Structure 1
């Protein structure tokens, strides 16, 4: 029984940590950094972002993005791929870790608010003519955020730069002048789904 449980656990961890090959779309587009469901899309007018039920205000200072800013919240469940990919070609201009509490992402009533409460990592990527941000958010089960990059490092669109253990959330921050190609409620695929063009 113990051996079976160990094999089952190992198989589950291998499944969670998989990173299938993705077909990265060419051209001046921004791809989803995460695999999951897009549960919220909001535009805010300031660089200080706090997530509430219907909007954001005053928690993370993201001065690299001039307001207005698009906020796209992707929720990952246990079946989704848990690696995060760079939305664009560029250079990591900022990476900042924020310790926090751990709340259960899958059972929370106000899922957007978890971005305020939970452990998170903000990564800003400066590309050609624009900067984008990715926030990795840890959940109750996902108490570990891993990043494979550091400030000053170059990344390619679709390149894996980090992962979150088990189900949680990823937030994509984009310049508000872009026209989005996605909407709340749809599934997105890391490195493949085009979120916007520039």
Structure 2
């Protein structure tokens, strides 16, 4: 059985209105066709159970926070990455991807900052700092090193609302659900240079399963 997030309720109800109107006025065939719309909207909010795609999740593992296609993987881009030195992974979510977002890394959620903005196409470079978005910052101490992972929910041309269900001060586990973005959007993840990126532009990633970065183990192997 497919689990549907509760955020689906208002959107599905609105999508069902044309079908109900057609049925009430006796246009049953049209109503049947229009009845596919609320089904499609509800499926947009599907929330499958997820687990890592290889090995156990440990303190050195960073998972993808979203389903989609990697648009960029490399050094932090000017005008996109937070101040400082970062490695960056940017993921584009189409309307057909699962839009439930997950924490890429476990630790204390130090910061949750919502910023209103525009609705440019999420694949555009400037969408990272002009569009409506929420920035989340997780910190965790590992082997004496204070690690910080910064990630960002960004709405796009179709997505007009970002939903964040966690709050500053919470302790998150790697892969935990943290919210969603409605109808096509973008996720950016920023990790310190000490972590190795394991994905490249063009790769498909799955939230809560695909390992996108990893810190070297104590033995020096990533």
TM-score range, shorter chain: 0.7 to 0.9
Looking at structure 1, the residues matched to 213 and 67 of structure 2 have their Cα atoms a distance apart, in angstroms, of: 16
Deviation, structure 1 residue 184: 1.1
TM-score by length of 2: 0.75
Looking at structure 2, the residues matched to 68 and 146 of structure 1 have their Cα atoms a distance apart, in angstroms, of: 28
Q: Which residue of structure 1 aligns with residue 35 of structure 2?
A: 7
Matches within 5 A, 1:113-124: 113-124=126-137
Looking at structure 1, the residues matched to 114 and 176 of structure 2 have their Cα atoms a distance apart, in angstroms, of: 20
- The answer on whether the counterparts of 2:74 and 2:197 sit within 8 Å (CA) in structure 1 is no
Q: Deviations over 1:122-165 (max 9, x none)?
A: 01111233110111001122111001100001111111101000
Question: Residue 31 of structure 1: which of 47, 50, 63 is its match?
Answer: 63
Give the number of the structure whose alpha-carbon radius of gyration is greater: 2
Q: How many residues align?
A: 179
- Larger helix fraction of residues: 2
Q: Deviations over 1:44-91 (max 9, x none)?
A: 4xxxxxxxxxx323x7755xxxx3201111000011110110111111
Cα 1:132–1:12, aligned 2, differ >3 Å: closer, same or farther?
same
- CA RMSD in angstroms comes to 1.8
Higher RCO (Cα < 8 Å, 6 or more apart): 1
- The answer on whether the counterparts of 2:81 and 2:190 sit within 8 Å (CA) in structure 1 is no
Matches within 5 A, 1:122-137: 122-129=135-142, 130-137=147-154
Q: Which residue of structure 1 aligns with residue 176 of structure 2?
A: 159
Cα 1:39–1:60, aligned 2, differ >3 Å: closer, same or farther?
closer
Looking at structure 1, the residues matched to 207 and 82 of structure 2 have their Cα atoms a distance apart, in angstroms, of: 25
SS at match of 2:35: helix
- The answer on whether the counterparts of 1:68 and 1:177 sit within 8 Å (CA) in structure 2 is no
Looking at structure 2, the residues matched to 101 and 170 of structure 1 have their Cα atoms a distance apart, in angstroms, of: 16
TM-score by length of 1: 0.83
Where in structure 2 are there 5+ consecutive unaligned residues? Answer: 1-18, 23-30, 216-222
Q: Which residue of structure 1 aligns with residue 192 of structure 2?
A: 175
- Larger strand fraction of residues: 1
Looking at structure 1, the residues matched to 151 and 163 of structure 2 have their Cα atoms a distance apart, in angstroms, of: 13
Q: Does 1:41 align with 2:73?
A: yes
Deviation, structure 1 residue 6: 5.4
Q: Which residue of structure 2 aligns with residue 17 of structure 1?
A: 45
